[in-house]
Structure 1
Amino acid sequence: MVVIRLARGGSKKRPFYNVVATDSRNRRDGRFIERLGFYNPVGKDGQENLRLAQDRVQYWLDNGAKPSEVVQRLIKEYSAKAAA
């Protein structure tokens, strides 16, 4: 099954996450099908902390991909910000 989840990057105590579509059997930071965006929880003010390719996210959701709980929250947050 395809899932949309976060893959961790960055250095120690400075997390940076890529939002990826991957097979659920792959490791968290392992192979993925497509990179859909990024999330930087410790970004400075004035920086872009979240970016998603909404068309690609919607494509994967329409084709049966399951988002993780955190990714689902981020999608909701980003779409509200984009609508404003």
Structure 2
Amino acid sequence: MAVHIRLTRKGRKKKPFYRIIVADSQAPRDGKFLDIVGTYDPMQEPAAIQIDNEKLNDWMGKGAKPTVTVANLIKKHVKASVETV
């Protein structure tokens, strides 16, 4: 079972909201998932990214691989958190 960290879409039409989840690679986009790691809201200005670093590091330590989009969101989140400190 390959595990991926990816986005699942929530919200309504033309108002997307995403959860960053850990799921089996064979599961559908909005189907079963193992854990919620964070959220991403592209409708806010600037886009709001919230990630639970403890959960993320735990899952990545177990071998979960983020998708390209989620990897970019993680980089933005880390950069933003470093700038605020």
- SS of the aligned residue for 2:56 comes to helix
Deviation at 1:10, TM superposition (A): 0.5
Partner Cα distance (1:59, 1:82) in 2: 19
Paired positions, count: 82
Partner Cα distance (1:30, 1:43) in 2: 25
Check if 1:75 corresponds to 2:74: yes
Percent of aligned pairs sharing the same letter: 35
> Any gaps of 5 or more consecutive residues in structure 1?
none
Q: TM-score, normalised by structure 2?
A: 0.90
Runs of 4+ in 1 over 6 A off after TM superposition: none
Tell me the C-alpha RMSD between the 2 structures.
1.3
Q: In the alignment, what sits opposite 1:54?
A: 53
Q: TM-score, normalised by structure 1?
A: 0.91
> Any gaps of 5 or more consecutive residues in structure 2?
none
Q: In the alignment, what sits opposite 1:10?
A: 11
